[in-house]
Amino acid sequence: MHYLYRHFDVKGILLYVGISHHAVLRTAAHKNNSMWFPEIARIEITNYPSKEDAARAERAAIIEEKPIHNKKSGPRKTNRKGGDFKFNERMHEQASPRAQRIIALRKAGAEWLVIAGQFRISPSRAQQLYDAHVGDAPAK
């Protein structure tokens, strides 16, 4: 058996879609590797008879459902047009309250070090949260 799993936040927004032979173990691995892991409020798991079937379902889900943290459909691909940065308001609305505050501070001109200090996180973590919802952020 192979599994397709979907991670949702508290508002029901689809965060991520993936496949695995062990969906629960793979979800646990996201805890160490995915900055959006704390946003997960609900997980849906669907089983498929083969890896190929699960992979087809995953591709279709990414294209049709547009999870915000899958690299193939996430904000970095959708927030750029012609190389010029374009802020996507929908992404801002879907951001966690902490990410929304980071976005607002950064748009107001705050330095990464100042933002990081307010949230007791590293400057690179603050930038990761910003990038996940807005796109590539110029370093200051």
Which of 74, 94, 91 has its CA nearest to residue 9?
94
The arrangement of secondary structure in 75-134, i.e. its CATH architecture, is Orthogonal Bundle (1.10)
Domain boundaries along the sequence of the chain? 2-65, 75-134
For the stretch 21-44, pLDDT in tens is: 888 888 888 887 788 888 999 999
Q: Is the distance from CB of 14 to CB of 67 less than 8 angstroms?
A: yes
For the stretch 71-109, pLDDT in tens is: 764 443 333 333 333 344 445 455 677 778 888 888 888
Query: Phi/psi at 66 (nearest 5 deg)?
Result: 50, 60
pTM of structure: 0.53
Q: Is the distance from CB of 58 to CB of 117 less than 8 angstroms?
A: no
Q: How far apart are alpha carbons 117 and 115 in whole angstroms?
A: 5
